[in-house]
Amino acid sequence: MGEVRLARISAEPIGLADHAAAVDDPRMGAETSFVGRVRDHDPDAAGAVAALEYTAHPDAERILGELARRAAEETGSLVAVSHRIGRLAVGDAAVVIAVASAHRAEAFDACRRIIEDIKRELPVWKRQIEADGQTAWKGLGG
């Protein structure tokens, strides 16, 4: 029953409302979501974080779809997920996930699986830009 309704890499702003609408289904009794935003600090940064610049491998959208499909099939969930690329300011959404399932346990499980798999497996890299101009690259798993 699992289905991916949206799996996208986008240079445009992403939001929760589109993703929640994509998984809206009267057969589902539980919806969960995750929004990963750019924060103004990082444990590895010497100072304040001003922005992040995300870059994706050309296969990233296909791989994102595979990660979403795996979670959807294993949990019987409906999934909508996007990862943003380009320069993002503090507060901008970098990742948005919405999941609908018949029951809450499966919805939470699918949402967690997707974000953890994104961090481990999605070929997206980020360059962290600090307020003083220093930069640092972070890759898969970071």
Q: What pLDDT digit, counting tens, does each position of 105-124 carry? A: 999 999 999 999 999 999 99
The pTM (predicted TM-score) of the whole model is 0.95
Q: Tokens 């962290």 label which residue?
A: 128
Range of the domain at 130: 3-138
Ranges under pLDDT 70 in the chain: 140-142
- What pLDDT is stored for residue 139 in this prediction? 73
Instruction: Tell me how many degrees the CA angle 19-14-28 measures, rounded to the nearest 5.
Output: 10
Which CATH number belongs to the domain containing residue 42 in this structure?
A: 3.90.1170.40
- The structural domain count of the chain equals 1
Phi/psi-derived region of residue 118, left when phi > 0, alpha when psi is between -120 and 50, beta in every other case: alpha
- pLDDT on residue 30: 98
